[in-house]
């Protein structure tokens, strides 16, 4: 069995593009690597040209939504995988994901374990608070929340007619997941396989306000839920510092919820 792999890029050389693509070829039965590029100028395309069976699609004037759409439309295999350019797949990723597939499965998302120090410490402290394995906690947190595309195996028939709103620069992944569910399939979130997610704090801060804005605009969340996040962020931030002695991790956790609230109120 061979599968197409969709990879979105735009100046993605850092933090880990080579490691990401190496993990794709090592752990997936690649038919084609479909690269949808938003206009890279940092050497991203030059690196990717060194790999076999790569198809390039230009999306220089698009968004992540248009890039996802073009990637899906280019798929020719019955199943395909979306891999973000800042993740590294765990060993034997495909076989472990395929073990979850049944006739009702539309997608399988593997837990995204943060590899950046501060985000790792946030999740490590929370796993201690709830006395759970970190990957199991990440899955539990996502069960009723957003559908992700970090490392996601998708039944192509479940998305073949999808039309993603072009303005969804983020949350296009959630739109895809909800579409799959509306089609009558299950979107599974599992602790194994998983990926390592390399995301810097500065990148994450720029997305928190947008996240709050979209949660409100598209009714993906409730205001009471946002207020609860803010209300619990102080004691949880204190717990993070007690467990890890990482003040930056504690600060990130607190500010993330405040910025989400700010984005919600701006919608």
**With a threshold of 0.75, does the pTM exceed it?**
yes
Report the pLDDT value the prediction gives residue 171, as an integer from 0 to 100: 84
For the domain covering 3-199, report its CATH number: 3.90.550.10
Kindly list the domain boundaries of the chain, sorted by start residue.
3-199, 203-266
3-state helix, strand, coil in the chain (%, to 5): 50, 20, 30
Q: Which two tokens stand for residue 243?
A: 């467990």
CA dihedral 157, 38, 193, 174 (to 10 degrees): -60
Contact yes or no for 21/51 (Cβ under 8 A): yes
CA-wise closest residue to 38 among 17, 75, 63, 21: 63
pLDDT score at 202: 57
Q: What is the pLDDT along the chain (267 residues), one digit of tens a residue?
A: 999 999 999 999 999 999 999 999 999 999 999 999 999 999 999 999 999 999 999 999 999 999 999 999 999 999 999 999 999 999 999 999 999 999 999 999 999 999 999 999 999 999 999 999 999 999 987 666 789 999 999 999 999 999 999 988 878 999 999 999 999 999 999 999 999 999 765 556 667 887 788 778 777 778 898 899 899 999 999 999 999 999 999 999 999 999 999 989 987
Neighbours of 35 (CB within 10 A): 28
- pLDDT score at 47: 98
According to the model, what pLDDT value does residue 188 have?
Answer: 96
The reported pLDDT for the residue numbered 218 is 72
The pLDDT score that the predictor gives to residue 168 is 85
Residue among 203, 202, 262 nearest 229 (CA): 262
Supply the pLDDT for residue 200: 67
Rounded CA-CA distance 62/42 in Å is 18
Least Cα distance to 156 among 72, 236, 234, 227 occurs for: 72
pLDDT computed for residue 201 by the predictor: 57
Q: Please tell me the predicted confidence (pLDDT) of residue 72.
A: 98
């Amino acid at each position: 069995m061979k599968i197409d792999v969709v990879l979105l890029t735009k100046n993605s050389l850092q933090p880990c593009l080579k490691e990401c693509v190496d993990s794709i070829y090592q752990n997936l039965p690649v038919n084609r690597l479909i690269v949808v590029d938003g206009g890279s100028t940092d050497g991203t395309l030059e690196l990717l040209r060194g790999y076999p069976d790569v198809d390039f699609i230009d999306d220089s004037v698009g968004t992540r939504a248009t890039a996802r759409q073009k990637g899906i439309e280019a798929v020719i295999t019955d199943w395909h995988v979306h891999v973000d350019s800042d993740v590294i797949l765990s060993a034997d990723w495909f076989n472990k994901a395929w073990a979850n597939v049944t006739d009702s499965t539309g997608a399988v998302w593997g837990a995204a374990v943060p590899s950046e120090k501060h985000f790792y410490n946030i999740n490590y402290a929370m796993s201690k608070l709830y006395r759970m394995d970190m990957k199991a906690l990440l899955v539990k947190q996502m069960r009723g929340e957003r559908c992700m595309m970090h490392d996601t195996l998708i039944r192509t028939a479940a998305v073949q007619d999808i039309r993603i709103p072009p303005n969804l620069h983020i949350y296009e992944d959630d739109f895809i997941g909800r579409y799959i569910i509306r089609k009558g399939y299950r979107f599974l979130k599992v602790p194994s396989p998983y990926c390592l997610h390399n995301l810097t704090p500065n990148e994450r801060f720029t997305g928190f306000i947008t996240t709050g804005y979209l949660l409100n605009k598209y009714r993906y969340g409730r205001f009471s839920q946002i207020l609860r996040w803010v209300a619990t962020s102080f004691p949880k931030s204190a717990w993070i510092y007690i467990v890890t002695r990482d003040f930056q991790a504690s600060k990130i956790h607190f500010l993330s919820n405040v910025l989400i609230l700010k984005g919600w109120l701006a919608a």
